[in-house]
Amino acid sequence: MTHTTKLKKTRLTVIGNGMAGIRTLEELLKLAPDMYDITVFGAEPHGNYNRILLSPVLAGEMTIKDIMLNDVDWYAQNGITLHLGKKIAQIDRVRRKVIAVDGTETDYDRLLLATGSNPVMLPVPGNDLPGVIAYRDIKDTDEMIEAAAHYRHAVVIGGGLLGLEAANGLKLRGMDVTVVHLMPWLMERQLDRTAAGLLQKSLEAKGLKFLLGKQTVGLIAGESGRVCAIKLKPALSNVEGDGETLPADLVVMAVGIRPSTELAEAAGLHCNRGVVVNDTLQTYDPRIYAVGECVSHRGIAYGLVAPLFEQAKVCANHLAQFGISRYTGSVTSTKLKVTGIDLFSAGDFIGGEGAEEIVLSDPAGGVYKKLVIKDDKIVGGVLYGDTTDGSWYFQLLRNGQNIRELRNHLMFGQNHLGNAGHQGRSSAADLPDDFEVCGCNGVCKGTIVKSIKEQGLFTLEDVRKHTRASSSCGSCTGLVEQILSSVVGGAYAPQDASKKPMCGCTEYTHEDVRRAIRKHRLLSIPETMRFMEWKTPNGCPSCRPALNYYLMCAFPHEVQDDPRSRFINERVHANIQKDGSYSVLPRMYGGVTTPAELRRIADVAEKYRVPAVKVTGGQRIGLLGVKKDELPGIWRDLGMPSGHAYGKALRTVKTCVGSEWCRFGVQDSTALGILLEKTFERMWTPHKTKLAVSGCPRNCAEATIKDVGIVGVDSGWEIYIAGNGGIKAEVCEFLVKVGTQQEVLEYAGAFMQLYREEAHYLDRTVHFVQRAGLDHVKRRIVEDAAGRRALYARLLDALSVEKDPWAERVAGVEAREFSTIRFFDKHETKEKDNEQLAESLSA
């Protein structure tokens, strides 16, 4: 062992052992695991636990053990010094140290404040009596559980989110519970009067009592010294004695929280209803950062978990000295975690001047939905009784998406009718635990719920990683999101897709990367990764294929395709099957074949003993079960071009018989289909692209559920775009009507080039058009003739360099890919007495 001088690491000290502080450390350890010597101080005697799940603990649905996020071992494993049960008394900014109440001192180079918030205690007589508590931590929860075992009457002051969850839990533990609320209706910061009324009714049905518009005057002690009653008066009355008294053995104050800033203020840090931070979560002392409920960012202090996580990510990025992300504030949504009640609220749900409302009200059926819209954008909403589409609305809200096109069916939610794979169910709340949510990976609801609770999951990505649910075809994503939000409540926020990094290897979005490739003329994957400061040495299976596609799309003449960054199917130009064999699908233009072609296919199938021959859904013939090493021979004997049935590329152009033969046909759909397929074959696209041409509006080629569908009418052709017949059936949007075949080529080609240039990798045309807007597409393709011709010219130019990949491989390209190295003398080489020699060679 050589002796090396150990460099002293930078010291990071964290005050606060809650969700925001520890989440920041987790994000930091991902980015820079060895950068800091970390010390954490927590005032509570526990590891980091999931505070938002205290309500289910109180309700008896979970235990404290279930809600631990980081146990004490976690800190040890990550080399973090943990001081539990030690409250910090002072921050000494001059000598850069923090001092705990018990005298423990720790130096810092960087300090992270995550002191959270304090519950507000009403300044009324008796607020310090035994039996009067707040609802904030494990201690409070234990005290409530304890009280429920010995006393009868509970009063919860505050009819907000937290108060109602406390009341529900105490009721479930057998207490007689009354909620006292100052305002005229419940959860007035999340709900309008109608929704609050429905909520009150269903909570009353669970046995809760409510006194609304009442102000607490004082708390009265009984003989034992413990609180025994509460005195109230009408909120608007000034008359003394105009009150009433209620028995109360337990009083829970849930009237709000206040950022905990005492330490920061005492240390002279600028505070204004929270420790003031900038967009990098830095306080006025550049060595000190702050995250979580103690923070005031652009004048807002957040009390929900989702924004804290966003802050944690940004703060970690700056602590790791990456310096490239900003926190610009959060739009929050709320979900009440009371079993059996479905309630969702987000944004500005009241509206006001210049706002419009769309309301669906069915009080008898217990359903109320209201969306508030301003300038064709959703700015807020309340859903009660049916929150199926909460995530979707919230996403539209956060992305600021123009909803003009969706307006007439917005209220009916995202059309789930076309979804396959989960028995057509679209509401997760009433599903049994053994219901198979994800039909691709066979994952049941109970498994998902269990993982979310036990592994402490908060995001869709986490759930996908741990359970595989929603990770394949994605059709059950809506259900999984609902399950997630029903377990973690407002802590779940769907990610803002427009700001989402490409993958874990980078902070940059798809748009950022495409822009940089074009602007700086980046010509290879390593060059792009260097320029964009990739965090991994050579990317991952998610970003490499995307980069390869973006590069080839931007510079088709200069960029060399990288087979090692292609998924297997595109690398070997055949589709891998579950047993590791491959399928071969030659191109049959427009679904038309000849006896000679059929004979060749039959001969090949016999010669190579192909196990299965199948007519495909795309009007061609597939050979299934082919061994990889035999692919080049089969391609050679077939003498037909690749059908690209394996690629994110132009697949088939499906056609009907058309006017040549059909007595109804008005246009020659077969001829146009063949022309389209011959023009656009070998076209790589962000995802697979399917075309179809029908010769009359009877539409036998099912053209209106394709990426581009053409329907012949007597006077020409109608062009439809962005349909999909797969995971979720989507009917096309009408783009334009044209007169000639040549125009069809130009319009369809221009649209596909726009899709190629602007879509995210793995977006189908339907996703692209939803994101970009049909207006945008029409402007570029229909209204801008010069732009359309330029797009079309760029597509033809890109296609001019593409050769038939099968013919290339028959001629010897990538030959090693198709040859296994074989040894048959295994017995000879396994002799034991050679082991020693082997050891010496390997040493």
Partner 1 sequence: MSNWLKVCPLEDIPRLGSRVVNNGDIDIAVFRNAVDEVFAVDDRCPHKGGPLSQGIVFDRRVACPLHGTTIHLDTGEAAAPDKGCTHKYRVRVDKGDVYLNLG
What residues line the site for partner 1 (CB under 8 A)?
Answer: 455, 465-466, 468, 471-472, 536-541, 544-545, 563-565, 567-568, 571-572, 576, 578, 580, 816, 820-826, 828-831, 834-835, 837-838, 841-842
Nearer to partner 1 among residue 194 and residue 441 (C-beta): 441
SS3 494: coil
Q: Residue 646 CB, nearest distance to partner 1 (Å)? A: 12
Q: How far is CA 249 from the centre of its chain?
A: 44
Nearer to partner 1, 415 or 536 (CB): 536
Query: CB-wise, 457 or 488, nearer to partner 1?
Result: 457
What is the β-pairing status of strands 582-584 and 621-626? Answer: antiparallel
719 vs 204, 667, 713, CA distance in Å? 56, 14, 11
Please, which residue, 331 or 540, has the CB nearer to partner 1?
A: 540
Shortest separation between residue 819's beta carbon and partner 1, angstroms: 8
Interaxial angle between packed helices 741-758 and 785-799, expressed in degrees from 0 to 180 and rounded to the nearest 10: 80
State the DSSP H helix or E strand holding residue 211, giving kind and residue range, or none if neither: strand 209-212
DSSP 340: T
Report DSSP state, residue 49: E
Strand order in the sheet with 612-615: 575-576, 582-584, 621-626, 612-615
Per DSSP (E only), the strands in 627-750 are 650-655, 689-694, 708-713, 716-721, 733-738
Cβ-based nearer residue to partner 1, 74 or 567: 567
Distance in Å, CB of 30 to partner 1, minimum: 13
CB-wise, 486 or 565, nearer to partner 1? Answer: 565
CA dihedral 390, 395, 398, 404 (to 10 degrees): -100
Closest distance to partner 1 from the beta carbon of 536 (Å): 6
Q: What is the rounded CA–CA span in Å between residue 210 and residue 272?
A: 35
The tokens for 631 are: 């692919």
What are 140's two structure tokens? 């409070």
Which amino acid does the sequence have at 215?
Answer: Q
| Cβ-based nearer residue to partner 1, 166 or 529 | 529
323 vs 541, beta carbon nearer partner 1: 541
Please give the Cα distance from 627 to 613 (Å, whole number).
Answer: 14
Shortest distance, position 587 Cβ to partner 1, whole Å: 24
Closest contact distance (angstroms) between CB of 448 and partner 1 is 13
42 sits in the region (left: phi over 0; alpha: psi -120 to 50; else beta) called beta
The least distance separating partner 1 from the CB of residue 440, rounded to whole angstroms, comes to 9
Measured distance CA(97)–CA(99) in Å, rounded: 7
What is the enclosing helix (H) or strand (E) of 711?
strand 708-713
Find the shortest distance in angstroms from Cβ 515 to partner 1: 24
Least distance from partner 1 to the Cβ atom of residue 817, Å: 8
Amino acid identity at 172: L
Q: How many CB atoms lie within 10 A of CB 664?
A: 13
Closest approach, Cβ 244 to partner 1, in A, equals: 55
* CB-CB neighbours of 126 under 10 Å: 20
Q: For residues 34 and 831, which CB has a smaller minimum distance to partner 1 in the complex?
A: 831
Nearer to partner 1, 133 or 572 (CB): 572
